[in-house]
A = this chain, B = another copy of it.
Amino acid sequence: TGGSVTLVGAGPGDPELLTLAAVRALRGADVVLYDDLVSPDVLAFARREARTMLVGKTGHRPSCRQEDINVLMIGLARQGKRVVRLKSGDPGVFGRGGEEIAAAHEAGIPVAIVPGVTAAQGAAARLGVSLTERGVARRVQYVTGHDRDGALPEDLNGAALADPGVTTAVYMPRRTVPALVARALAAGLPAATPAVAIVDATRPGERRVITTVGDLKDAIATLPAGPCLVLIGDVLRAARSGVRAPAAD
């Protein structure tokens, strides 16, 4: 039978936040190409006989170039393999999924996407907050902390960041948070706006600091290394530490 490529969202970290479709795709895969942010507990859903290959790509560590990942993925699918490209969070939210989908289309390889819970939604759930709230936030936005060159995107919309009716999630902001905060404050966001920085959201080692936009730069520096997310907005006034789903038994 013919090979295929399935982009699968691994969710924010906790393997319980995988979808049934993700588990099914992992169990059916001949090869799993995974990012360095994917939990080992998630990878454990693959069959023992499946090949699993770390291709990196997230974080700031040296990793395979995107073009090399595409060549590998397409080459394996052409050999008739069912290839799962496993990405942290949702493949459609800062996952560079579009480039891999385009490569598969160009090669005439069937491609499908299994969406996942993105880090912002996982982190909010653990904080016990809703990202939107009547009368508080009628818009939620996810922005990337860095552009192609690792800097804050030049044209990241300052007015969109400073809007009092928005909740903002900044993905992988460590290096660029000072620039982002400066831009938001210059555009009128009050320095007292609540903010939370989270490392390893939904994982056993999750660490967070509940702060304000004005103190965010110093607060984030107190967190250990690891995948980081920042949430900003008035909905975070209700943030509580360590809300976990009760065991169902």
One of B98, B121, B235 near A133 (C-beta < 8 A): B98
Q: Which residue of B lies closest to A14 (CB)?
A: B21
Task: Evaluate whether A243 and B112 lie within 8 angstroms (CB atoms) in the complex, with A14-B21, A142-B139 already known.
Answer: yes
In the complex, chain B residues whose CB is within 8 Å of the CB of A4: 246
Question: B21 near A112 (CB under 8 angstroms)?
Answer: no
Question: A101 near B238 (CB under 8 angstroms)?
Answer: yes
Q: Which residues of A, 82-98, contact B by the 8 Å Cβ criterion?
A: 82, 90-98
Task: Evaluate whether A245 and B20 lie within 8 angstroms (CB atoms) in the complex, with A92-B130, A157-B165 already known.
Answer: no
Question: A15 near B25 (CB under 8 angstroms)?
Answer: no
One of B92, B139, B245, B248 near A27 (C-beta < 8 A): B248
One of B20, B117, B140, B166 near A15 (C-beta < 8 A): B20
Q: How far is the CB of A142 from chain B (nearest CB, A)?
A: 5
Q: Does A227 have its Cβ within 8 Å of any Cβ on chain B?
A: no
Q: Which residues of A, 1-46, contact B by the 8 Å Cβ criterion?
A: 4, 6, 9, 11-12, 14-21, 23-25, 27-28
Question: B141 near A121 (CB under 8 angstroms)?
Answer: no
Measured CA separation A163–B6 after assembly (Å): 31
Q: Which residue of B lies closest to A164 (CB)?
A: B155
One of B6, B25, B124, B134 near A115 (C-beta < 8 A): B124
One of B92, B99, B125, B132 near A125 (C-beta < 8 A): B92
Determine how many copies of this chain the complex contains: 2
Q: Does A116 have its Cβ within 8 Å of any Cβ on chain B?
A: yes
In the complex, chain B residues whose CB is within 8 Å of the CB of A143: 138-139
Measured CA separation A136–B147 after assembly (Å): 11
Q: How far is the CB of A104 from chain B (nearest CB, A)?
A: 10
Question: A130 near B244 (CB under 8 angstroms)?
Answer: no
Q: Which residue of B lies closest to A90 (CB)?
A: B121
Question: A116 near B117 (CB under 8 angstroms)?
Answer: yes
Task: Evaluate whether A28 and B249 lie within 8 angstroms (CB atoms) in the complex, with A94-B132, A121-B90 already known.
Answer: yes
Q: Does A128 have its Cβ within 8 Å of any Cβ on chain B?
A: yes
In the complex, chain B residues whose CB is within 8 Å of the CB of A186: none
Q: Which A residues fall within an 8 A CB radius of B? A: 4, 6, 9, 11-12, 14-21, 23-25, 27-28, 82, 90-99, 101-102, 110-118, 121-122, 124-126, 128-136, 138-144, 147-148, 153, 155-157, 159-160, 163, 165-166, 235, 238, 243-249
Contacts A/B (CB < 8 Å), 9 sampled:
A16-B24, A20-B20, A27-B248, A98-B136, A138-B143, A139-B144, A141-B160, A157-B166, A160-B166
